[in-house]
Structure 1
Amino acid sequence: MSAKSIHVMPNKQATLYRLNNSKNWHVRIKYKDKAGYWKKSTGTADFDEAWAFAIQRYTEINSENLEIRRIHRSGNTTLEEVAKEFLKKSTANKNDKTICENHLIPKLGHTIFAKLKYPDLEGYINDCDIRSESTFANHRTTINKLLRFGLQNEYIKSVEHLKLDKASFKANFSRETTDIISSKEWDLICQSYGAWRGMSRGEKVYEIRHKLFVLMQFLLFTGIRPGNESEELQYKDIEFTTYKGKLVGFIDIKKGKMKDIKPRKIPIHEDAAMILFLELHYQCYFDLPKVNDAGNEADRGNALLNMHPDRKFFYVQEKRPEYARNFGRYIQHLKSKNRLSDEKKLILYSMRHTFITNELHKGKDIYAIAKHCGNSVQMIEKYYSKYETLINAKEVFEEGFRFYHPG
């Protein structure tokens, strides 16, 4: 700043000054509600015009109207200020709150939001020491939501240059280890679940925990991945049928871990089919009188499915809950009650891991398991073992899921 500066308002609340390399006047305005200054060129060398500009900007920058103040401060708004506004929105969830308050604000809070650069976010991801794809995905989702909020509210002009590419960080990711679930542990998980669900605060939380229990059983009995494969399941992706008098079925899997995933249709045993059938009756309670004359159980189930083909089976209030996080909370609850060992590493993916391990120990064909689960044979060989026989619809319908008991 030049030595020549003129105070437009008392107590240096607004000051005009010239930079040594500029002919135009600049203004520095002191914030009334926080520490710091708003600075900008007035765009003119005329002193009277600059004076009028300073008075007008002071009024706007420190306006009692929050919306006017936000608009005129946007060029100097910090990430912390934008994040706090973002968290007030209904679209912000608990995951967003955790990431913003525990990571983004402490690490990037003082950064001017409009001046965010890709290296800032790249450094942030590295500083967080993120080691798994799922954790990276959680951070990227929150960052993208925050950027969209900033763009919509004119805190930043563009966000295209700030998109995080997973491939750039893939070298940091390590495969998350998980244990399989024993039959005794599964019994414990099921026996204790009702009490935990009953501790829910509010109807929505209860509904999420109810559907989480359905999802847990469905994953264990089918080997489908948690996430997109199962949690995006629509009614039209389910088909019931009968086999030797038993209710069984098929599932169309159209979404998955990889963007270029090939859709696959897999058979499901009576255990998994009945889980879906009973839950379907719960979800379509008021439609039940319409299907009383539809025939057998499979016909009635399919009739209900056809009434709402696009409905998401595991959504709650038209949103997909954070099932993995809720399962983690349940496992921590069991550990806090000394019902499960602290050494046990169980995540929602443990259901799939247990299914694949059991199929291998039963002697199923590794190629068939890979096809059923949407994996490569190489992946199963790398992370599991090598056993052989065939997993086809007939065997699935007749055998279903059985816990492996070592001899």
Structure 2
Amino acid sequence: MPTESHLLMDGALHVYRRENSRYWQCSTYLGSRNHRQTTKEASLAAAKDFARDWYMERCVEDRQRRRGGVALLDSSVQPLIAGPGASTDGRRRQTPTGPSFEDAAKAFTSEFEIITLGERNPRYVSSKSEHVRIHLLPFFGNTALADITAGKVQEYRAHRQASRVDPKTGKPKKPARATLHSEMVTLRQILKTANRKGWIVALPDMTAPYKTSGKLEHRAWFSPEEYKMLYEATRERAKNPPKPRWREVCETFHDYVLFMGNTGLRPDESARLQLRDVKIVNDESSGERILEIEVRGKRGVGFCKSMPGAILPFERVRKRKNLKPTDPIFGKTPRELMNTVLGELNLKFDRDGHVRSCYSLRHTYICLRLLEGADIYQVAKNCRTSVEMIEKYYGRHLKNTIDAAAVNVRKPKLLKKTSSRSDG
């Protein structure tokens, strides 16, 4: 028999405690049957709060049952397996329902290519599906979108730091900063898709906690001495290739290095370059013969005016390949040959550990132009980038961009006044 009892909800709800028990219980009569439940609370105030919530759930169940539907919470069915984070106090709590992360990921991958309207690189579009299939979906899976919070996103970041193991060392193989950033961009795009469909009200905070401002490091480039070493090595390789059948490839690679170092094109832009996109002209402002190049790349169509040193390698390639107007000048980027030559010259990494590649020829062009005193706005315009990018990744690492005369300013020393005493 209950030793102490309290009435709530106008007498429809009973909260009571039996003899020799420290926990309060609650009961009500609904739908021609009695309902009872332990609150698992020793405090009367906490037990009353639990009882009110429990009573409202029973009312909703009873109303749903009388309307011919299925009960929202079936007290007779208990979960077979308690998942991580499940309650261990025996209470029945509502679990978030609605569309899952998998539903949002499928919606995103199915419409992403259509949304981009073919303006993005096909490899970039396919990488989104790889991010979902390999990393995001195995972690989030059928998680309800309502459960993806800022804490869940941070758990994913921590998970990725140890998700792969290096087979050689047996230690976790951490992803590169750019790799993790790309995955977080894909995750944000999936959640934006869910937001557009009305599945979530707002996106969670996805900023990385504990992160301070990173160092501003320069892009890997070749100093004038290193660039001279590179093209002299490619010239020697073109004259004496490792195998006679590689002669044409080595000669084209030598011209590629000179052409890229005198134009500042991106590797993907040079790969798309056709003979009809290049013209040899006499520049009126400089009085030199240069190349006018119509560039097609990630920024759309732009134009580039080369240094005079780009004419000779261009003419050699045109004559060697007997190019037609629609033929590519260089075609596929020679990454393997570049890595081979850089490895032989011990130039694959700069002193800060940055990896050099074909893209470093573009960085070399920009740095050499700035070292020669070229106008930074004109360099940015010719390279189809912004002044901000050049100042951030190139300008601040070059000594010639600092005007010593403007920095080493000194105030003129004041002459001491000589005091004269008057006789008198």
TM-score (norm 2): 0.41
| Higher helix proportion | 1
- Greater length-normalized contact order (CA 8 Å, ≥ 6 residues apart): 1
Structure with max Cα Rg: 2
